[in-house]
Amino acid sequence: MNILIINGHQKTPFASGKLNRTLVDEMKKFFGRKKSNTVKTTIVARGYNPELECKKFKWADVIIYQFPIYWFSVPALLQQYMQDVYSYGSFYKTDGKPYGHGGLLQGKKYMFSSTWNSPAEAFGHDFWQGVPGPDFALVHLHKAQQFIGLSALPCFSCHNVVKDPQVKEYIASLKKHLRTVFGK
């Protein structure tokens, strides 16, 4: 299996990116256990070549996006990455198809792995009333992936990462999630 892991972290005064790097490293270890897997990574904050990124997407069977939630969405650099890389003719075409059905990456899958300051138990209540979980809060990102033809895998998220970080628990949960989604 060919796996592309995109680290979409963007450094801020209160977020150095250590947790996102740790989660990406754990994913690389997990997939590296099988010789039949090949992993490539992109660290958006270090810059990228849109044409090379396009080739990585075409090569990959699975694309994993690792990112923090900043103001209820991805960091600005990851949004810019999507705007620069998701190109007409390589990622989607219209060709008279109904809106949203021209994705050219059919047969490929994606997974979001996100870090939130929001506690998981807050979803569905108070501020998050009517939003039962992180996937529902990120519907716009899911639609962007669907638009280019990708199919969703179950997503992973870590919560309360600023107020009460539990890194060992996050790593254990990630490993369990990866085993469930991709097998042992």
Of how many residues is the chain composed?
A: 184
Per-residue confidence at 137, pLDDT binned at 50, 70, 90?
A: confident
pLDDT tens digits, 170-184: 999 999 999 999 997
The token pair that represents 154 in the structure block: 């179950």
pLDDT of amino acid 172: 98
**123: phi then psi, degrees, rounded to nearest 5:** -65, 140
Task: Provide the 8-state DSSP code for 46.
Answer: G
CB under 8 Å to 35, separation ≥6 — which residues?
none
Looking at residues 160-165, what average pLDDT do you find? 88
pLDDT of amino acid 11: 85
Q: Average per-residue pLDDT in the chain? A: 93
Residue pair 64/4 in contact (Cβ under 8 Å)? The answer is yes
pLDDT tens digits, 76-135: 999 999 999 999 889 998 888 888 888 999 999 999 999 999 888 888 887 888 887 788
Query: Of the CATH numbers 3.40.50.360, 3.20.20.150, 3.40.50.620, 1.10.10.10, which one belongs to the domain with range 2-182?
Result: 3.40.50.360
Per-residue confidence at 33, pLDDT binned at 50, 70, 90?
A: very high
Domain boundaries, the chain: 2-182
For residues 81 and 151, give the distance between their C-alpha atoms in angstroms, rounded to a whole number: 20
pLDDT of amino acid 128: 80
For residues 59 and 108, give the distance between their C-alpha atoms in angstroms, rounded to a whole number: 10
Residue pair 163/101 in contact (Cβ under 8 Å)? The answer is no
**pLDDT higher than threshold 90 for residue 47:** yes
Element (H, E) at 152: strand 151-152
Residue pair 6/44 in contact (Cβ under 8 Å)? The answer is yes
